[in-house]
Structure 1
């Protein structure tokens, strides 16, 4: 098996509070961060040092999503709803009040925005008509994370009631599966690029691999010391990264489900506090991480064949 070499290529600063949200742009050269300071910033991987302020909101931003079709940025604003920013024009198009609850995750597919709320409601917003299309009550506990399998048109939803619910977007949001097994809130959830597996991570520090056709647990790993906050696949699906409240990032071999590398403060001058989000850039193939320490790190992760 190949070894992994990790080099930190950049540390970016500018936020004045914990960074909670991270999203890759429709042009993956750009990425977006949102923080407890209410600032949403655009960063350019070709010139990463200087961020550009996109929006300044009065409350924390926990979630961002990019509408790649229209080049819009959807901002989840706590206690208010969502704001739509036209990234081409760099201006707000509209906002809609949805909930007085925290918005922990947003996904966009076609004309629809899926908003997961702190009181367990999935709100479907229609972009062209700027209106609420549907409320789906899934739980009394928070929706924490979502992911879409584009080919299958499945929406996977991780909740604070410890479950993962799968809805069929091609069939009126009908439930397909209810996956149980985590002992605490599910914070991390991603389909592999080939959509053959779904990987989840939770506050229980476990990483679970689920086969998708049909949905069933195939592997359970005690992956971190504390909560797994997020995960992201490399574009080719060969590896994935997890980030944790234990201040580490871990690189995993997807097929063998083995740990390849630990990135932390002691070994790699990593983050000093909880790491909240990671994205494996499809532009540079580097890993971007954001933390409670208010900084953004960009990691070059190269297999060293032995």
Structure 2
């Protein structure tokens, strides 16, 4: 993509949630299906061809904090405030597995594709690893003495990064789940993580800072991209741009190489964007999806100038 020569246009607004929206996931089997969840007692399925409500995929007993489409399957993992993780087959709306962490909410779920494993973190700082073949619990290990809100796995499935409430990042080997590096990076909780193609780690926090860290967690660069918490970091397909979203209601696009600001999408800049905190985002091909405390999902289109 020409880094300077594109626009981001609003392509639609999905409304129907009665409460703030925290989590979103695209279907692994149908690129025109989006799932969202939040403070409602249900996970919603949207049709992206018509930009309309499709159905309530399933009802849940507590707030949804994490959604994950399991690659290559029609399964969706739903992490909740109750500590439950429901694995639902989205094609026939059947429950495939009902998993549980021992204490507190589930804030993040990821897969480790190279090992056919799914990893989640409980609010008490323990990580749980299940087999994707039969959802048997394989490992449970302590990452931190405090809440861990975010997990990220590098694209080689070799490193798992955890970000905790103390601002500390923990790096683990994916093959044996042994910690090999940790460092306090942020002054406040770590709220978003993203590996880049070179294996560097981008980290956003409640201190409104964004760090680019090398594989040893040494700082390559840091900026203050937003006025408040950085809730999401996502990369474009070419992996030369990143986007961030924040409690300050803005979506911003940055050049990965030097973290230079390329686009600022906000109501202040004349966009029909969110008017409350943006809690999460996805960048898929030429589409960007954002979810907010204002109960809506915004669909953005990246188009050449």
Relative to structure 2, which stretch is displaced further, 219-228 or 195-204?
Answer: 195-204
- 8 Å CA contact 2:166–2:184 kept in 1: the answer is no
Residue 195 (structure 1) shift: 4.1
Helix, strand or coil: the match of 1:226? coil
- Answering whether residue 127 of structure 2 is matched by residue 126 of structure 1, we say no
Residue 26 (structure 1) shift: 1.0
- 8 Å CA contact 1:43–1:51 kept in 2: the answer is yes
Alignment of 1:242-261 (within 5 A): 242-261=244-263
Relative to structure 2, which stretch is displaced further, 41-50 or 132-141?
Answer: 41-50
Please give the alpha-carbon distance, in whole angstroms, between the structure 2 residues aligned to 1:124 and 1:268.
Answer: 41
Deviations 1:54-78 (A, max 9, x none): 1111210000111113321001122
Please give the alpha-carbon distance, in whole angstroms, between the structure 1 residues aligned to 2:5 and 2:72.
Answer: 38
TM-score using structure 2 length: 0.93
Please give the alpha-carbon distance, in whole angstroms, between the structure 2 residues aligned to 1:222 and 1:165.
Answer: 22
Please give the alpha-carbon distance, in whole angstroms, between the structure 2 residues aligned to 1:26 and 1:179.
Answer: 34
Residue 219 (structure 1) shift: 0.3
Kindly tell me the number of residue pairs found equivalent between the two proteins. Answer: 299
- 8 Å CA contact 2:80–2:107 kept in 1: the answer is no
Instruction: State the match for 1:167 in structure 2.
Output: 172
Alignment of 1:32-47 (within 5 A): 32-47=35-50
Please give the alpha-carbon distance, in whole angstroms, between the structure 1 residues aligned to 2:11 and 2:135.
Answer: 40
Please give the alpha-carbon distance, in whole angstroms, between the structure 2 residues aligned to 1:107 and 1:62.
Answer: 13
Residue 263 (structure 1) shift: 0.9
Deviations 1:250-298 (A, max 9, x none): 111111310111111232011011000010023xx11100000000001
Unpaired runs of 5+ residues, structure 2, are none
Moved over 4 A (4+): none
Residue 138 (structure 1) shift: 1.3
Helix, strand or coil: the match of 2:238? coil
**What is the aligned-residue RMSD (CA, Å)?**
1.7
Deviations 1:193-247 (A, max 9, x none): x2432111000000111123x4421000011101111111011112111000111
- 8 Å CA contact 1:79–1:99 kept in 2: the answer is no
Instruction: State the match for 1:299 in structure 2.
Output: 300
1:100/1:174 CA distance change after superposition, 3 Å: closer
Deviations 1:106-151 (A, max 9, x none): 0122432211111111111223343322221111211111111131
Please give the alpha-carbon distance, in whole angstroms, between the structure 2 residues aligned to 1:247 and 1:238.
Answer: 24
Instruction: State the match for 2:291 in structure 1.
Output: 290
Helix, strand or coil: the match of 1:50? strand
Task: Please point out which of 195, 209, 213 is paired with 2:212.
Answer: 209
- 8 Å CA contact 1:2–1:303 kept in 2: the answer is no
Task: Please point out which of 178, 184, 200 is paired with 2:182.
Answer: 178
Instruction: State the match for 1:21 in structure 2.
Output: 23
